[in-house]
Amino acid sequence: MKIIFLIFLSAIQISSFAQIKTQRIEIKDNLGFKENYRVIEPECKIKHGSYKKFYNGSLIEFGQYENNIKSNIWEYYSNGQIELIYDFTKKELIKSTDNELFANVIIANDTIAENIQQKPILLGSSTYTNAYIAYNVEYPLIAIQNDLSGIVYIGIVIDEHGVVIDHYIAKGKHDILNKEALKVVKSLKLDFIPAIYNNMNVKSVIFYPINFKLGTRP
């Protein structure tokens, strides 16, 4: 079970861009993640101001909220390197390193397009996604007892707005492994910058692999 520690820090700040009284919050969990951000008083539920997320002490997200909505430029890191810079106010991609996930772009009549301009891009940290999967996937006991292993590919369907609208087993190994992989990937909250084809945002599918290997966690 994921354990979350919520710490209300005593420092009070008057937000310079909105003159709103805020309080700094720090959240830690047992996956190794720590969040540091500000919330509006007195309810302390609405994020407002700077936001940082760390994984095992390393910065993986940095940006700003305005009334619980991401605004201005956000930076995402993986292994200490920038993997994405995105302006949420202008809805503009500034920088992205190519991800390793295979993607298909779907056009009219559900046919697959070739020579696409831009693959769908995860609007977040791949470090968080991979750590979440590794922590939450459980190797089914019956699969271990029957020496079942292999890679399961989960298809994630993304619409023209970057919203995930469906998940399915694109390529499976054994039914019990397929179900576990699908369950965990569906539980992820993901947003994307949509794929682009012929200068238009289009529907697309990415394929996320989960490797069930005996003796290790997926």
Q: Which comes out higher in pLDDT, residue 113 or 210?
A: 210
Q: Band of the pLDDT at 5, cuts 50, 70, 90?
A: very low
Q: Domain end: 67, 97, 127, which one?
A: 97
Answering whether pTM is above 0.85, one says no
111 and 156 inside one domain: yes
Q: Please give the pLDDT value at position 123.
A: 93
109 and 200 inside one domain: yes
**What pLDDT, in 10s, does the model give residues 86-113?**
999 999 999 998 665 666 676 555 666 6
151 and 82 inside one domain: no
87 and 104 inside one domain: no
Helix (H) or strand (E) holding 177: helix 175-187
**What pLDDT, in 10s, does the model give residues 22-49?**
888 999 988 899 999 999 988 888 999 9
pLDDT of 181 above 90: yes
Distance CA 178, CA 171 (A): 9
pLDDT of 13 above 60: no
134 and 215 inside one domain: yes
DSSP assignment of 106-168? E-GGGPEESS-SB--EESS-HHHHHHHHHHH----HHHHHTT--EEEEEEEEE-TTSBEEEEE
83 and 116 inside one domain: no
Domain limits for position 170: 98-218
Arithmetic mean of pLDDT over the chain: 85
CB 39 within 8 A of CB 25: yes
**What pLDDT, in 10s, does the model give residues 143-175?**
999 999 999 999 999 999 999 999 999 999 899
Q: Please give the pLDDT value at position 2.
A: 40
Which structure tokens are listed for 103? 């993607």
Q: Which residue in 172, 124, 129, 182 sits closest to 151, CA to CA?
A: 172
207 and 134 inside one domain: yes
Q: Please give the pLDDT value at position 173.
A: 82
CB 199 within 8 A of CB 184: no
Q: Domain end: 63, 97, 131, which one?
A: 97
CATH of the domain at 116: 3.30.1150
Report helix, strand or coil for 94: strand
134 and 187 inside one domain: yes
Q: Please give the pLDDT value at position 102.
A: 62
81 and 129 inside one domain: no
Which structure tokens are listed for 64? 């700003």
**What pLDDT, in 10s, does the model give residues 47-57?**
999 999 999 99
pLDDT-above-70 percentage for the chain = 82
73 and 106 inside one domain: no
Report helix, strand or coil for 59: strand
Report the range of poorest mean pLDDT among 62-66, 69-73, 102-106, 130-134: 102-106
Q: Domain end: 38, 67, 97, which one?
A: 97
Contacts with 193 (C-beta within 8 Å, 6 or more apart), sequence order: 86, 93, 96, 118, 120, 121, 123, 162
CB 84 within 8 A of CB 96: yes
106 and 213 inside one domain: yes
| Number of structural domains found in the chain | 2
